[in-house]
């Protein structure tokens, strides 16, 4: 799988070598190569700590704990990003017959996960932002 490439200019840009030096191999695979961590293996799936979830690659604030909910899907789920422009959306046709919407950090372009709609969760947006724990860093509220 190749690294993410976009025509968009991000506020935080680094070379592939700089990202590799900053991130662990698993973090690099998920954040920069659009990989996925194993379900039910991430540190934040069941975490109920109050705070803000930031991009592990660049530190941009992405999701508030107040929007996190138990979807029991194997990854942390949120019903909305922290601010409308904190994430970007890209069409993902990597699974034949199952188009999805990829979610990336709008600050650095790192892969976070996917967003799904109409699954029947009782949330204000009827959306599930299914995000890899390894893409996030939790900043607990003080």
Q: Which of 92, 97, 106 is nearest to 12 (CA)?
A: 106
**Residue range 108-130, pLDDT digits in tens:** 999 999 999 999 999 999 999 99
Does residue 130 have an active-site annotation? Answer: yes
Cα distances (Å, whole numbers) of residue 81 to 7, 33, 89, 125: 23, 22, 12, 11
Structure token digits, residue 136: 């996030």
In contact, 29 and 39? CB cutoff 8 Å = no
pLDDT of 45 strictly over 90: yes
pTM of the model: 0.90
- List the 136-140 sheet strands across, edge first: 61-64, 51-55, 136-140
- Active-site residue among 55, 58, 105, 130? 130
């Amino acid at each position: 799988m190749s690294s993410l490439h976009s025509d968009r200019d991000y506020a935080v840009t680094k070379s592939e070598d700089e990202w590799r030096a900053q991130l662990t191999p698993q973090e690099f695979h998920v954040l920069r190569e659009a990989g996925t961590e194993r379900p039910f293996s991430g540190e934040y799936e069941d975490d109920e700590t109050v705070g803000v979830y930031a991009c592990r690659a660049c530190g941009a604030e992405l999701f508030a704990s107040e929007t996190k909910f138990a979807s029991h899907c194997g990854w942390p789920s949120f019903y909305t990003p922290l601010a409308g422009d904190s994430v970007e959306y890209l069409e993902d046709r990597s699974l034949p017959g199952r188009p999805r919407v990829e979610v990336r950090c709008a600050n650095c372009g790192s892969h976070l996960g996917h967003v799904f709609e109409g699954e029947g969760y009782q949330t204000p947006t009827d959306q599930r932002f299914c995000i890899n724990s390894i893409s996030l860093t939790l900043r607990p509220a003080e």
